[in-house]
Amino acid sequence: MPTEEENVVWKGRSHQIVNFWPLAASLLLILLILVGANAWTPWLALLAIVPFVYGVWLWLGTKLLVFEVTSERMRIYEGILNQEINEVELYRVKDTRLEKPFWLRLFGLSNIVLQTSDRSLPEIHIRAVRNGAEIREKLRKQVEILRDRKRVREVDFEGSGGDSDEMEFEGDM
């Protein structure tokens, strides 16, 4: 049986607007420290390095967080010093949700939340992306295509039906 090549359906990252308030606070703190250094001692200006490094770290963290949806799985690349790659098989996506908070709508952005049956990544947040509705629809269609091809359906079990939350098997004693 020939295997199909894995194709990239969508690849993107969050917008830097998610860091607006922390970066604004860092900038304000840098300005306050520099004004204080001008009023008292120039050595105080060295403290401005701390909020500057914090701001750069936040910016880099968002810049290096990449979401890649392929025809088979979703990969999440993240990390500044060490890159970590998390993967979720697309057929494990149970639900997709589009969130459009007022703050993000001002910039034409939205959040996509994926609920999965993967224990290591039960929920994936793709924050502040452009064309969120289109991306969500592409993802939903790809999940359905993959489920049909693999003949897989997602089934939720809400409990064992008994008094205890644990399931008992004949071999367990």
Q: What is the pLDDT of residues 130-163, one digit of tens each?
A: 999 999 999 999 999 988 888 877 666 666 555 5
> What does CATH list as the number for 8-150?
2.30.29.30
From start to end of 60-118, where are the E strands? 66-70, 73-78, 84-89, 93-99, 109-116
Find, among 96, 102, 104, 93, the residue nearest to 130 by Cα: 104
Task: Please report, rounded to a whole number, the percentage of residues in the chain having pLDDT higher than 70.
Answer: 86
Q: What is the pLDDT of residues 25-82, one digit of tens each?
A: 999 999 999 999 988 888 888 999 999 999 999 999 999 999 999 999 999 999 999 9
Q: What is the pLDDT of residues 102-124, one digit of tens each?
A: 999 999 999 999 999 999 999 99
Burial of 171 (0-12, 13-18, 19+ CB in 10 A): exposed
Residue bearing tokens 């990390």: 79
- Mean pLDDT over 13-35 rounds to 96
Q: What is the average pLDDT score of the chain?
A: 88
The structural domains of the chain, with segments of one domain joined by +, span: 8-150
